[in-house]
Amino acid sequence: MGEGSTDTPQGVGHGGGREVSQLSPSHVPVLLKEAIDFLNVRRGGTYIDATVGLGGHSYEIAKRLGAPGHLIGLDKDPAALEIAKSVLGRSSLVVGQNDWPRVELRHGSFAELANDQRPTTIGKIDGILADIGVSSLQLSDAARGFSFQADGPLDMRMDPQSERTAEQVVNHLDERELADVIYEFGEERRSRRIARAICRSRPIRSTAHLAEVISAAARPMNPGRNKYDQRRIHPATLTFQALRIFVNRELDDLKALLDAAPRILKPGGRVVVISFHSLEDRIVKDAFREGAIKDKYFRVLTKKPVTASLEEQDRNPRARSAKMRAAERI
């Protein structure tokens, strides 16, 4: 988990093709070809990009759907949706407006698919793609508070309209609850020590202040002997991951998506999920396995997770932690 000295062990996301890269040059794709291949896009089909991000994966799907097709893109982040709208609109001019599918972009979590009762959705979807990474747009904006590479407010909300912020979590959870969050969602072994230090340092208002508190608390007692503490990631990485996951209910949303997939996919429809840490990957693996063995509605297409090639990892270090799994509705 984690790459180099990066401050988050996940987050790339929402890949893009060459043409899209020209429209959004800072955007880096992850497992783009592999995801599109497993999705097996059918011309004229209906597909959901559950994390449309900056529109990269959606572009590749739309290009294959053609005019008879329908692409539904979802994202919690309205800023990402605006960029995706621009990218997909301009891309239609590149590919050919006369052969571009109907594109419908929705603001909201993909978890809402679990409650979607529209007859146009139930059993009518040919494929679902979910890239569960933090986008480069979110990571690079210090005002969003996802990263501690630059000082910013403790926000971490993917949807700026949601109520709970990282600042509220850090300053108002009691020590035991905070330690549990850090341990459960960050798999941070030093969670109790870190939670104690955070509570003693309140109020904490900025990412830099929080990272400083965590770094001091997580400093190893015997640095020469503890291999765990010698990992090449910042000591605040796992705590920041835990807070972000908790603030955005990421694991709950992923479970809701996987629960909804068998109901909304048509026979032969596929669901492809790209995750970036073990918590997410475990949820996807278990859901696909249970759906194949117990409930008999999935055929698992990836016995082992698909990972990025060495070439892609060299080009984009964030791809090192990406794992992709796919299943087909029976």
Q: What residue ranges do the domains of the chain occupy?
A: 18-137+250-329, 147-248
Q: Cα separations (Å) of 298 from 129, 266, 329?
A: 16, 11, 5
Q: Please tell me which of 39-48, 126-135, 139-148 the model is most confident about, judged by mean pLDDT.
A: 39-48
Report the SS3 class of residue 245.
helix
Confidence of residue 105 (pLDDT cuts 50, 70, 90): very high
Residue 101 has pLDDT above 60, yes or no: yes
What token pair was written down for 168?
Answer: 């509220």
Averaged pLDDT for residues 155-172: 96
- What does the pLDDT average to over 289-301? 96
What gap in Å lies between CA 135 and CA 10, rounded to an integer? 9
Has residue 72 got a pLDDT over 80?
yes
For 147-248, CATH number? 1.10.150.170
Return the number of other C-beta atoms located less than 10 Å from residue 36's C-beta.
20
Residue 76: exposure state from Cβ atoms within 10 A (0-12, 13-18, ≥19): buried
- What angle in degrees, to the nearest 10, is found between the helix axes of 237-248 and 207-217? 130
Helix (H) or strand (E) holding 162: none
CATH number for 18-137+250-329 (one of 3.40.50.150, 2.170.190.11, 2.30.110.10, 1.10.10.60): it is 3.40.50.150
